[in-house]
Amino acid sequence: MLILGLESSCDETAAALVTGDRRVLAHRLLGQEAAHRPYGGVVPEIAARAHVEALGPLVTAALDEAGVTLSEVDAVAATAGPGLIGGVMVGLVMGKALAHAAGKPLVAVNHLEGHALSPRLADPTLEFPYLLLLVSGGHCQLLLVEGVGRYRRLATTIDDAAGEAFDKTAKLLGLGFPGGPAVERAALEGDPYSVPLPRPLLRSGEPHFSFAGLKAAVARAVGSATPEDLAASFQQAVVDCLVDRTRLALSRAPQATALVVAGGVAANAAVRGALEALASQHDLRFVAPPLWLCTDNAAMIAWAGAERFAAGLTDPLDTMARPRWPL
């Protein structure tokens, strides 16, 4: 089975070819950081226009790299939401056009499902059910992944996502864009316990997340400590919240066979390390995809497409792009 995957829901344009037996034959990605950097965040209209320019050549390059033609593809998987609607429409329309031209089915993939199943692309031994901490720029959720298309949400954020908090903290500290990697780099030079910051919802009875108060506390503390100490203290507060909330969710999901982390924030070494320690305390396997598979990419969309296609799940060509689409 050979699946072409397309991703365009935020500020990465990507195309990939993935087989049913987990071989990534090609994955091409074009980030748009330079275009958005002057604005300190992703500008939807700029993103959509950049996807229009980039996607076609990326698909051609991915097919060339894999040494296959469109007619050899079994299905075309494209992100159909959630995300910035202009970008999602660009990728989904391209997916529909390619599927129609090739006479192959379309798989409309939920971007979150791409993240949720990506650990199974990286690790063939990862079986359902597993507890997934999905931490990205737009989402912060704990999901019990019971099967393809079967996700039980145990927790979500009541305000900001963790990645959003990283991005806003980077902006407050003048560390630039994109924020997560910049905060992580600065934190390496700082003391994580130098600035007292709140841990919102720590030990609260439901495993939900909140990061708005933490961000506000960072804003108040700016100037009182070095950016490095603030970055390290902020990162430690986020790690403490993620670990505490995940521990509570684990106690409610005894059937989970592994603790899995995915999404852009899963690229953070402090986050990965703390979750790995939590998993070992619970005698659970810990699975985190390689860094390139944590942040947005098309291989995870192709893989989610492969899992859905194998389960007989394809979508009509009039499927709509969705800015919001809970799993």
Q: Per the annotation, where are the binding residues for Fe cation? A: 111, 115, 296
Maximal CA-CA distance, the chain = 62
Nearer to ligand KG4 among residue 138 and residue 200 (C-beta): 138
Other beta carbons less than 10 A from residue 224's beta carbon:
9
Q: Where are the alpha helices (DSSP H) in the chain?
A: 33-36, 44-66, 85-102, 111-122, 162-172, 179-187, 212-221, 227-251, 269-281, 291-294, 299-310
Which secondary structure element, helix H or strand E, spans residue 76, and what is its range? strand 75-81
Backbone angles phi, psi at 26, to 5 degrees: -160, 140
Size of residue set near Zn ion by CB under 5 A: 2
Among 32, 169, 295, 314, binds ligand KG4 (CB under 6 A): 295
Kindly state the DSSP code that residue 127 receives in the 8-state scheme. Answer: -
| Binding-site residues | 111, 115, 134-138, 167, 180, 184, 268, 296
List Cβ neighbours of 226 (8 Å cut-off, separation of 6 or more).
Answer: 190
Position 13 contacts Zn ion (CB under 5 A):
no
Q: Of Zn ion, ligand KG4, none, which one sits near residue 178, judging by CB under 5 to 8 A according to partner kind?
A: ligand KG4
Nearer to ligand KG4 among residue 91 and residue 263 (C-beta): 263
Q: Shortest distance, CB of residue 203 to ligand KG4, whole angstroms?
A: 24
Residues 307, 310: Cα–Cα separation, whole Å? 5
Binding mask 124-163 for ligand KG4 (x = CB under 6 A): ------------xxx------------------------x
- Give which of 181, 140, 132 is closest to 159, Cα–Cα: 140
Size of residue set near ligand KG4 by CB under 6 A: 20
Q: Shortest distance, CB of residue 21 to Zn ion, whole angstroms?
A: 25
Position 296 contacts Zn ion (CB under 5 A):
yes
Q: Which of residues 245-264 bind ligand KG4 (CB under 6 A)?
A: 263-264
Cβ(321)–Cβ(80) under 8 Å?
yes
List Cβ neighbours of 322 (8 Å cut-off, separation of 6 or more).
Answer: 80, 81, 82, 88
Which secondary structure element, helix H or strand E, spans residue 28, and what is its range? strand 24-31
Calculate Rg over the CA atoms of the chain: 19
| Binding-site residues for substrate | 134-138, 167, 180, 184, 268
Residues 207, 202: Cα–Cα separation, whole Å? 9
Q: Which of residues 7-26 bind ligand KG4 (CB under 6 A)?
A: 10
Binding mask 128-157 for Zn ion (x = CB under 5 A): --------x---------------------
* Stretch of 121-129, 176-184, 210-218, 290-298 contacting Zn ion, by CB under 5 A: 290-298
Q: Of Zn ion, ligand KG4, none, which one sits near residue 244, judging by CB under 5 to 8 A according to partner kind?
A: none
Q: Which of residues 179-238 bind ligand KG4 (CB under 6 A)?
A: 179-181, 184
Q: Shortest distance, CB of residue 72 to ligand KG4, whole angstroms?
A: 29
Position 82 contacts ligand KG4 (CB under 6 A):
no
- Site for ligand KG4, rule CB under 6 A: 10, 136-138, 163-164, 166-167, 178-181, 184, 263-265, 267-268, 295-296
